Structure 1
Amino acid sequence: MRYLFVGDSMTVGSAGDFTWRYRMWQHLCAAGEPFSVVGPRVTLYDRASDSAVSADYADPSFPAHARRHLAGWGEGWRHMVPLIGDAVREHRPDMLLISLGLIDLGFYSDAEETARNVVRFIAAARTARPRLRMVLLPVIPNTRADLDPDFAGQCAELNERMAKSVADLDSPESPLLMASRPDGYDILLDTYDGTHPNVRGEHKLAAAFADAVYQAWGVGAPYEAA
């Protein structure tokens, strides 16, 4: 199985992070099934230079081939739509693990427009690889939602629209899956700034994907945090 991680700042991580991608890689190694991680990028975001140039993962032994991804700080569904086709054609993933949407709602578009970009993304990915599997994580509202009811409502609406798109567009040839919000995810305890996951949060994000694909498709194994 060839995995491509697609996401925003919660997925790419910043200098000094482990990332949930690292936790997922550890889990896949422990599951014992053949796999590879693919994608056009390998770096973390560097806050000092405001660019994705850092190789400073918290575990320096995290192998270069497993660091691959298609994620970016400040990038959402709208940014990934024009990128996903080429990435899929070049790197030939079997499964996309996708965590996107919060940045779209926070800076670029409303739930309705973002949901249209979700559909465009799915179509572009399938055009590049018709038998591709995709798993979408719901948007996890950050602390802004506690102070901005309209933003909280947009997060909830986008999750509803994504779930409907997944149900409508699912097919035996190219299965789609909406994962569940990570069990017990707490913005105060599982992030270091109200948005980005800390060590606890990284494990919970990885578990949400791992458990979803195991329960739905029998791929891998149930997640067990270290």
Structure 2
Amino acid sequence: MGWYEDELGWPVAETSGAAGAAAGAGPAGGVPGLVTGVRFDALDVPAEAGYALLGRFPRPGALGPVALDGRRVRLLVAAGSAEELPGLLEWLDWGGIPLDLSALGSGRLMRAPAHPEWGRREAAYDRSAPVWLRPPRPGVDIEAALPALHVAGDSGGADGSGVPIGLPALVAAAATACHRIALRARAQDQPWAFSYASRIVAGTRPRSLTS
């Protein structure tokens, strides 16, 4: 893992057993972990939501590095974002709504993907190995390349300048993607009930099956 420490300047720690799982690094012991809360935090979302965000923000530089770890996607954001997440969700009117969306911040770890050049080879041998979907770039100021609560000079990076989107925009998109997944799962579990309730809300309640 010298690449992270020597070229990127990211702190790395070894995880082990239950302690590693509690730190957010996964159940396996002895897995190198990237320390969050120092150079960056990480938003943690289901893989489906993560891929939806990658599709929504395809422009290079709009998002920071993005990693896939099993069925979870970790999107690197500015350090301190984990502390801002609850208040930000409340401000965005997502407060009190169950979302499979969390953040790894100070005192946590995320499993370290292999170097991008051999990450796919490692994943071919170990399907559970984390990999980079959008790898970090050596020589790029990590702090300037991450979505943050305040983005100087550009509110959304929509002009192609390479400025990342703001943290509020990213959290709003992530919350929407996670909520859609939850609604879809609920519809599959209770198709009749969900459909009936949806049509009531829309003002098109179906006629009784017995009428």
TM-score range, shorter chain: under 0.3
Structure with the higher fraction of residues in helix conformation: 1
Calculate the TM-score normalised by the size of structure 1.
0.23
Question: What TM-score does the superposition give when structure 2 sets the normalisation length?
Answer: 0.24
